[in-house]
Structure 1
């Protein structure tokens, strides 16, 4: 059936314009080709659609019924083309975006209002999770990630923003009570709040501004995989936490947290964005990609090296 769609179109054009000559003028399809197409369709359907001779043109009763249904197919095809054209002209529709939990609660609460105001016809479906989503199989248009290694999937395009750093932070009240460490080794005796929830005894590797590395054994008093929670607990005098700058920037600025061993940091991961490398990306996805590249790069200048 689908191989005859062009035949239905030619037949509908001839009926709509009242003859082969008029249809030729309207469609720029030669009369001979229109005639062949209709003859082919008649052979396929095994019915007569048009009575024709050198001086008369008329459509059979069955031909009129076929014409009415052919018009529906043509209108549906035109509607599909109009839909694509409209989507291609103006950013609109739903974009599915995956972002880590901490970024959803920090950077994205600051930048998304501007995007939504700028593109009122775009709707965002946020997948807020720290797990590594499968963009292709889960139908994700775009994912923002912080990972120690970049994806190697050839089906994905990667835009790298920078390296996200972590620093040790605590409240000034905690440091007043327990003392301020002057060397990494002194962390072994402090109350540590840890992101890892797998082992009680852990080690952290810190890099000094002079390039030297220090590996320190710690015994956390609290384990939890939520960065926002750890930042809040650190601000409430519960201990020292190693946190990404993107989470602590506001609390450092307000004085809720202060840096501990400010000459040392740890790498949190590579801050990047990934999206499927397929042609014909919809404008709504394209403008979001460009917007995030602009805004997150600005953030990188503040919190990333």
Structure 2
């Protein structure tokens, strides 16, 4: 029972408890001294300091035997319970590194989390019945450390909010300009980003901030497109629904519109002019030991996206 970062006073207390428990367990100072590789004098001094600190006599001492006083018996029982709890905690920590169990708290963006992350983690939970998952879906900036999350999924440039966290890149999120076949038949298909200004545009707006389209200009340089729209929505799926209904052009993540593109409900345009992409990361608190449940979750996400999943 040691503590490498304990103060001298704290270390003395820990050592005193260890010696006391061994004296009682082995039935005497001499046996405890031999077991702990200490002198009998050192054991006696440790017990004297312990009794002085507790202001109680722990042993009845005779020339032949040491037996516990009533106070000593009570203190011994408390020590055993404390040691048992410490051993249980250590066992749980070890099992967290060698068995897939315990609770994993994960925060992720709402739509990307629902479509791309949650299915992977739920599959992991299905494979490991001892794994408890808490999945939180939120587009607000979550303070991973302050709010006690084990894992966070983030998109975009990592800034100061990632301090104290480790990061692993999962995937590059690309976006696609698309529209319904009916809209393109009625309004024509844009052949360049310059023609977008003549079309109906569906814009994503949240907290009074428009998500500006970032596409190549005539020189091929990625720039913010100065687009306006009478239709502004704060939900990407609603924008996909509006585009499918023929209300205009949308700039949406490929993972969100993949099924609609495959079935022909939406058609991609400007395929030869790819726009800005965003990196997606897994982040977790920086600690010396990474629990196995967390390592497997990160590895499962990395493997899925490496195989082309989104």
TM over 0.5: yes
What is the CA–CA distance in structure 2 between the aligned matches of 1:217 and 1:58, rounded to whole Å?
A: 87
What is the CA–CA distance in structure 2 between the aligned matches of 1:203 and 1:136, rounded to whole Å?
A: 31
What is the CA–CA distance in structure 2 between the aligned matches of 1:217 and 1:29, rounded to whole Å?
A: 79
Determine the structure 2 residue equivalent to 1:282.
291
Deviation at 1:109, TM superposition (A): 4.8
Q: Is residue 61–residue 67 contact of structure 2 (8 Å, CA) maintained in 1? A: yes
Determine the structure 1 residue equivalent to 2:193.
184
Determine the structure 2 residue equivalent to 1:265.
274
Q: Is residue 193–residue 216 contact of structure 2 (8 Å, CA) maintained in 1? A: no
Q: TM-score, normalised by structure 2?
A: 0.84
What is the CA–CA distance in structure 1 between the aligned matches of 2:218 and 2:95, rounded to whole Å?
A: 53
Query: Does the C-alpha gap of structure 1 residues 295 and 63 become closer, same or farther in structure 2, counting only changes over 3 Å?
Result: same
> Secondary structure of the residue that 1:134 maps to in structure 2?
coil
2:159 aligned residue (147, 151, 154): 151
Q: Is residue 193–residue 217 contact of structure 2 (8 Å, CA) maintained in 1? A: no
Q: Is residue 166–residue 266 contact of structure 1 (8 Å, CA) maintained in 2? A: yes
Q: CA RMSD in A?
A: 2.8
Instruction: Spell out, residue by residue over 1:94-116, the C-alpha distance to the aligned partner (whole angstroms, 9 max, x if none).
Output: 21211111212321354234212
Determine the structure 1 residue equivalent to 2:31.
22
Q: Is residue 150–residue 270 contact of structure 1 (8 Å, CA) maintained in 2? A: no
Q: Is residue 121–residue 297 contact of structure 2 (8 Å, CA) maintained in 1? A: no
Query: Does the C-alpha gap of structure 1 residues 215 and 90 become closer, same or farther in structure 2, counting only changes over 3 Å?
Result: closer
Determine the structure 2 residue equivalent to 1:96.
105
Query: Does the C-alpha gap of structure 1 residues 92 and 214 become closer, same or farther in structure 2, counting only changes over 3 Å?
Result: closer
| Unpaired runs of at least 5, structure 2 | 1-8
What is the CA–CA distance in structure 1 between the aligned matches of 2:126 and 2:112, rounded to whole Å?
A: 20
Deviation at 1:259, TM superposition (A): 0.4
Q: Which moved more, 1:211-220 or 1:171-180?
A: 211-220
1:296 aligned residue (279, 296, 305): 305
**Residue 74 (structure 1) aligned with residue 80 (structure 2):** no
1:10 aligned residue (8, 19, 26): 19
Query: Does the C-alpha gap of structure 1 residues 143 and 215 become closer, same or farther in structure 2, counting only changes over 3 Å?
Result: closer
Query: Does the C-alpha gap of structure 1 residues 255 and 105 become closer, same or farther in structure 2, counting only changes over 3 Å?
Result: farther
Query: Does the C-alpha gap of structure 1 residues 215 and 267 become closer, same or farther in structure 2, counting only changes over 3 Å?
Result: closer
Q: TM-score, normalised by structure 1?
A: 0.86
Determine the structure 2 residue equivalent to 1:111.
120
Determine the structure 2 residue equivalent to 1:123.
132
Q: Is residue 117–residue 301 contact of structure 2 (8 Å, CA) maintained in 1? A: no
Deviation at 1:268, TM superposition (A): 3.8
What is the CA–CA distance in structure 2 between the aligned matches of 1:281 and 1:295, rounded to whole Å?
A: 20
Query: Does the C-alpha gap of structure 1 residues 216 and 45 become closer, same or farther in structure 2, counting only changes over 3 Å?
Result: closer
Instruction: Spell out, residue by residue over 1:98-141, the C-alpha distance to the aligned partner (whole angstroms, 9 max, x if none).
Output: 11112123213542342122222222212212222111112122
What is the CA–CA distance in structure 1 between the aligned matches of 2:221 and 2:268, rounded to whole Å?
A: 19
Deviation at 1:223, TM superposition (A): 0.8
Deviation at 1:208, TM superposition (A): 7.3
> Secondary structure of the residue that 1:265 maps to in structure 2?
coil
